[in-house]
Amino acid sequence: MKRTLREKTPHNLILEYPELECIEELHSAFQHIAVYRHPELGKMLVHDNIVMLAETYEAAYHEMIAHVPLLHHPNPQRVLVIGGGDGGTSREVLRHPEVSRLVQVEIDGEVVRLSKRHFPDLASCYQDPRMELHIADGIRYMADCAEGRHRPFDIILVDSTDPKGAATGLFTETFYKNCRKSLKDDGILVIQGETFYGMAHVQKQILQILRQQFRDSGIYTSAIPFYPLGTWSLIYASERLRSEWQLRENALRNLAEAEQGLNYLNREIISACFALPNYALRLAGLQPEPPGKV
């Protein structure tokens, strides 16, 4: 039986996906999870009627959240992923041979199980010996890190759902303070940062907190067709100014020339993704309103 999925966007527009084949669905302890098949987008992972990924274009998200910070860190050995149970972000992280240990903390074990069954390419990361998976609360894990119960990380990636339900605590001052305490001095934090279109107040709140904890913070973007209104942001923070970041050109070349290659990222996109339109800068509080505007 075919289904139609309707996802409401922040501007009260509707994304509609007709003619979906439901492959599997269930209610976990945290959310409703479904796997659908779309004739053009391929298999889709959907949480509470919100599309998390579509396999045809998943690289637009996973390559950008992982490779942009890792390619700008001089030696990313220890990486932490909060969330990301589908495995796509961790798969991309593990493409870097410099990474000696990847810790992933996912609260919902059913997401991991379904990904292993229906998205084996994304879930291939779980077979890597460098992977350490915890089915646990990422908020609690970060608190433990901040208290010195785990070694600090070079990179922390927060691959979360929207700020509601179990993910609400991933968008708080306490959580970001704990992230700062859990990073090495040259570390980089990247957060799934929503969209400018109707969610800029969330971005502004995050950046206000990060500016109190880090020397530098800002936004870069990716074009993701299965997320509301297409332009999605990733928020970064670091003690190193972005002007001090050096792109590891050899590492980028190795990724591009590897057997699986890169489906979204290239040198030009890395340069361009940090360029934001003026209205987005203003909405996020990164640029003042023009003089005379009421």
Catalytic residue among 121, 128, 159, 186: 159
Query: What tokens appear for 274 in the block?
Result: 């940090």
Helix%, strand%, coil% for the chain, nearest 5? 35, 30, 35
| Residue 37 β-bridge partners | 21, 43
CB-based burial label for 46 (10 Å; 0-12, 13-18, 19+): buried
Calpha distance 97→78 (Å, rounded): 11
State the CB neighbour count (10 A cutoff) for residue 93: 28
- φ, ψ for residue 238, nearest 5 deg: -165, 155
Side chain identity, residue 267: R
Calpha distance 126→208 (Å, rounded): 35
Q: Which residues are annotated as a binding site for spermidine?
A: 62, 86, 159-162
Residue 48 designated active-site: no
Calpha distance 59→28 (Å, rounded): 26
Closest of 31, 61, 62, 36 to residue 47, by C-alpha: 31
Residues belonging to the active site: 159
